[in-house]
Structure 1
Amino acid sequence: MLPSAAELVARYLRANGYTQTLNSFVQEADLPSDTGSAADNPITIESILREKKTFDLSLNFEKLGVDDAKQAWTVQAPAKPKVVESLPSRSNILSISVLDLLLPSTTATQQYIAVTTADRQLHLMDPSTSSLDCIQTISSFQGSPTLDIVPVDSRRLLIASMSGKLTLFDAAANAILEERKDHSKYVVKISTWSSEGGSMLVASAGWDAKVVLYQLDPNVDQPRLGDPIATLSLPSIPESTLFVTLPGDGTPVLVVARRDSTFLHFYAVPSPESPTFTLIGKQNLAPHSNAWVAFTPSDIQICPTNPHLVAIATSSTPHMKLLVAKLLLPPTRSSVTDTGTSLDSDGPVTQASQARAELLVADKEEAAILVNVSTLAPQTAYSTPRLVWRPDGSGVYVSSDDGVVRGIETKSGKLISSLEAHEPGSKLRCLWAGQMVGPSSPGSDDKGKAEFLISGGFDQKLIVWSSS
């Protein structure tokens, strides 16, 4: 616990031998005579001043965004909380998603809030009702808590669990279609990519330091994942993955961020010419840092209005750092070249030319980072940083360990809103933001949808934030 200001002053006077001043200060402040005598507390006025100087210095390295009116924070933002009381049981909330599903009890596809909890249950909530009624609770599909859910279509879901199992579940029939256990530890992330009218690529990332790739055909009556078509073994645990397309030929590329690395790694997915993952590039998010590992990119999310712009939540302590960066992807798979080509390509390769080439690459990577700011969201080395984009791309919401959801403007990197409704000091584990049919949707579009934010965490509260 931090000492009071009076105790700090008394400790400073006592440590520096200002006895008369100390006696006068203790008497006038009506303090105990032994105030400031504890020697086991390392916090002093000098240590606070050193920390303040370090903080001021770190502000000089923050990179604010450019003045782009299209990215300015829109005023009509979710800020009014509604605590959902209809959850059947109280347990830590592990994931939140909004899905368009066909259930056994309905005849048409409907929007639901899917909430998974630590007691191994999946709750489907109806957002169109005033109390967000729980329509169905499913507890038979997993023997361990669920960490991620991704829809295949309006019937089928891909479900990742802490046991390392990947489940293909039919929500309309309430039946398990297939179970795969190609990971030996937690499956923390599922990423998918669909070709037009064709098959779907499914990548599962696990704490066994592997990314497993499947090919699924959702158009058949009984789709199956089958055996993996490729497995990527990594030097450290993958923290986040996502599929993007190359700007030139539209082929899929898997972006992987892994622990203890400041790089984003770009892998071309297997093809008839290359049946394995192929590293086609990487991008350093701390190109001029002298530290061995400055942070880990813990969560990566694509901007909803720009498919090659990402927001990155980092593992930085004591506060989360937010980066908004352009992906430096090669235009096509066949155009991949050595990014470390020296400036003196026509002359001999020397140590100086290699250094100049590396500096050129670092400058390019630095220019790709549009925003690099502290969110002031407290976290520790054991936190799970999460972020979500607003639907119009004007800002992002980030998680924290103090129960506050913070909104950051992508134009400037400024903290715009601090949403407080969770228990103070509680860990926020999951966020969702987007368009949804709510019980009251002022400012909704022609389909009756409006912008909502949903948050959940270890205070066992599910909160839906609306704009009014």
Structure 2
Amino acid sequence: MPATDSPAIIVARFLKANNYTESYAAFISEAGLPPDAGVISKGDLTLETLLEEKKTFDVSVRFEKLGVHDGGERGWKVPAPETAAIVDDLPSSSNILSVAVHSVRMASHQESMAVMFVTTADRRLHLLDAKTRTIQTSLVGLQDSPVLSVCVFRHEHLLTASMSGQLLVSDLDGRPTERRRDHSKYIVRIAMYDESDEPLLATAGWDCKIVIYRPTVSDRGMVLGEPIATITLQTKPEAIALIQHPIARLPILLLSRTDSSFLYYYTCESEPRLLGRQNLAPHSNAWVAFTPSALALCPTDPTLLAVGTSSVPHMKLLLVRLLVPPYDQQPSDTTTAPQSLRTSLLDDSPATDTQASQARAALVIADREAAAIQIHCTTMAPQTAYSTPAVAWRPDGSGVWVNGDDGAVRGIEASTGKVISTLKGHEAGSKVRCLWAGSVNVEEVMLSGGFDQKLVAWTSPRA
């Protein structure tokens, strides 16, 4: 007799249950089934249950983990950036690699001003007035290779990280004060922590290392000195952030790395400790569901993290609550489990009880991690395995911008996960490489740079 879940048995059950007597007799005769093949017992699979499961599956794929409310006060705020202006004041044409706006004190201005920092593939760093979008200066040959990340320390000290692995400290005119080569290749991220008297700076490189510095400022300018710590990872880091521990009030390092769906929490001591990790795919049975490739903390809620993933063919966006482990926790391969769960894994109960307690503890942890994922949605932004996801929050925290390989930038509502806005200012089919979003002179602005060699400033429609 065929298996109880075979197509022939399921069809026989359907014919028998619906009193298709002649069709049933002819079917079981031609299919070679026994006379009782269509009898339904409790728990047997039927055609109706298959259809219901298919409908449920389609709904889950379509909506994934989206908000169940309509947004209300937390919805996408309008007006939002939608008017494109091509920044055509750049002195050269080349692929845009990074863009950011920092408040700096220029020598030619008495007060601080918002400056747009744009790096291009021809090894140039352009500084533009963020308000007028006019060029202030263009630094040529500042680095020995294209610059991938730019950071400004205390309004006047410029840090640039290059593809060669060099970290350069200079003033805003490009005069270098220190060069560090603690990475062997590609420094892809710079993270800064300046919430105390002892600031920290971290760099992530494709040599599978995180290097942490404690910068100081003297009459000669900013000095990094020797690294205070180096973290060696199994795979290359994708994104990093320096955040403050909510209880200990000390800086900790948050990072993601290639071929891992976890967020990792490290201390920033001279000998960094792995405090714990948080799985962003807790119930997945795949070896690697995705890589968290881009991280951005919400400007209005520092416990909420936007995560752009490496999912193909479209980027998936996650909005996740940070489950920061206790600061005094010992290094462990487990995630941020409560102490009671960790203790239960170390008792002297029999092996069978220990295995059962481990399974229960793992399930509790997975459920907690799943509950921390507020939104899990498909952005419809096309990408491949070679794409570089980028995410940027709107300054009011009502939405997230994501890039794509089709020349469009999409706005995702933070409360529902819906695609609210699709901005098309780059050439169709071109890669949007970088994003920045924030306020410039109380006006909301979003900047996008792409491999079509265009830098686009998006602003709200004027009243």
Could you tell me the TM-score, scaled by structure 1's length? 0.81
**1:206-232 deviation line (CA, Å, top 9, x unaligned):** 000000011102465532111111100
Determine the C-alpha separation between the residues in 2 that align with 1:233 and 1:212: 9
1:302-381 paired onto structure 2 within 5 Å: 302-333=297-328, 339=337, 341=342, 348=349, 349-381=353-385
Q: Which amino acid aligns with 1:241?
A: I
**1:155-180 deviation line (CA, Å, top 9, x unaligned):** 11111100100011111x54101010
Determine the C-alpha separation between the residues in 1 that align with 2:328 and 2:300: 24
Determine the C-alpha separation between the residues in 1 that align with 2:346 and 2:231: 33
Per the alignment, residue 462 of structure 1 pairs with 455
- The alpha-carbon deviation at position 66 of structure 1 amounts to 5.1
Q: Which amino acid aligns with 1:279?
A: L
- The structure-2 alpha-carbon separation of the partners of 1:331 and 1:93, relative to structure 1 and needing over 3 Å to count, comes to same
Per the alignment, residue 13 of structure 1 pairs with none
Per the alignment, residue 160 of structure 2 pairs with 159
Determine the C-alpha separation between the residues in 2 that align with 1:376 and 1:261: 22
Determine the C-alpha separation between the residues in 1 that align with 2:68 and 2:344: 29
Determine the C-alpha separation between the residues in 1 that align with 2:424 and 2:331: 47
Per the alignment, residue 114 of structure 2 pairs with 111
Per the alignment, residue 397 of structure 1 pairs with 401
8 Å contact from structure 2 (residues 82, 460) kept in 1 = yes
Determine the C-alpha separation between the residues in 2 that align with 1:263 and 1:127: 36
Q: Which structure has the larger Rg over C-alpha atoms?
A: 2
Per the alignment, residue 185 of structure 1 pairs with 185
Determine the C-alpha separation between the residues in 2 that align with 1:121 and 1:466: 26
Give 1:436's match in structure 2, choosing from 414, 433, 440.
440
- The alpha-carbon deviation at position 83 of structure 1 amounts to 0.7
8 Å contact from structure 1 (residues 187, 205) kept in 2 = yes
- The alpha-carbon deviation at position 332 of structure 1 amounts to 3.9
Q: Which amino acid aligns with 1:325?
A: V
The CA RMSD measured in Å over matched residues stands at: 2.2
Task: Please say if 1:128 is aligned against 2:137.
Answer: no
Q: What secondary structure, in the 3-state scheme, does the structure 2 residue paired with 1:289 have?
A: coil
Query: Where do 5+ consecutive residues of structure 2 fail to align?
Result: 1-53
Q: Which amino acid aligns with 2:154?
A: D
8 Å contact from structure 2 (residues 274, 331) kept in 1 = no
Per the alignment, residue 200 of structure 1 pairs with 199
Determine the C-alpha separation between the residues in 2 that align with 1:151 and 1:82: 26
Determine the C-alpha separation between the residues in 2 that align with 1:204 and 1:324: 24
- The alpha-carbon deviation at position 56 of structure 1 amounts to 3.6
Q: What secondary structure, in the 3-state scheme, does the structure 2 residue paired with 1:307 have?
A: coil
Determine the C-alpha separation between the residues in 2 that align with 1:343 and 1:57: 38
**1:280-317 deviation line (CA, Å, top 9, x unaligned):** 01000000001000100000100001111100000000
Q: What secondary structure, in the 3-state scheme, does the structure 2 residue paired with 1:98 have?
A: strand
Q: Which amino acid aligns with 2:101?
A: V
Per the alignment, residue 83 of structure 2 pairs with 80
**1:93-116 deviation line (CA, Å, top 9, x unaligned):** 000011222334334322111111
8 Å contact from structure 1 (residues 246, 333) kept in 2 = no
Determine the C-alpha separation between the residues in 2 that align with 1:412 and 1:147: 32
Determine the C-alpha separation between the residues in 2 that align with 1:100 and 1:211: 26
Give 1:62's match in structure 2, choosing from 64, 84, 90.
64
- The alpha-carbon deviation at position 235 of structure 1 amounts to 0.2
Identity of aligned residues (%): 49
Choose 207-216 or 54-63, whichever is displaced more: 54-63
Number of equivalences: 398
Q: Which amino acid aligns with 2:407?
A: G
Determine the C-alpha separation between the residues in 2 that align with 1:195 and 1:420: 38
Could you tell me the TM-score, scaled by structure 2's length? 0.82
1:6-155 paired onto structure 2 within 5 Å: 56=58, 59=61, 62-65=64-67, 67=69, 69-129=72-132, 132-155=133-156
Determine the C-alpha separation between the residues in 2 that align with 1:292 and 1:61: 24
Per the alignment, residue 406 of structure 1 pairs with 410
8 Å contact from structure 1 (residues 66, 370) kept in 2 = no
Determine the C-alpha separation between the residues in 2 that align with 1:247 and 1:194: 16
**1:242-289 deviation line (CA, Å, top 9, x unaligned):** 01111112111101100000000000110xxxx311000100000000
**1:79-100 deviation line (CA, Å, top 9, x unaligned):** 0000111111110000001122
Q: Which amino acid aligns with 2:82?
A: A
Determine the C-alpha separation between the residues in 1 that align with 2:211 and 2:146: 20
8 Å contact from structure 1 (residues 104, 174) kept in 2 = no
Q: Which amino acid aligns with 2:356?
A: A
- The alpha-carbon deviation at position 57 of structure 1 amounts to 6.9
Query: Where do 5+ consecutive residues of structure 1 fail to align?
Result: 1-51, 438-448
Determine the C-alpha separation between the residues in 1 that align with 2:87 and 2:77: 26
Q: What secondary structure, in the 3-state scheme, does the structure 1 residue paired with 2:214 have?
A: strand
8 Å contact from structure 1 (residues 342, 356) kept in 2 = no
8 Å contact from structure 1 (residues 433, 453) kept in 2 = yes
- The alpha-carbon deviation at position 382 of structure 1 amounts to 0.2
- The structure-2 alpha-carbon separation of the partners of 1:57 and 1:293, relative to structure 1 and needing over 3 Å to count, comes to farther
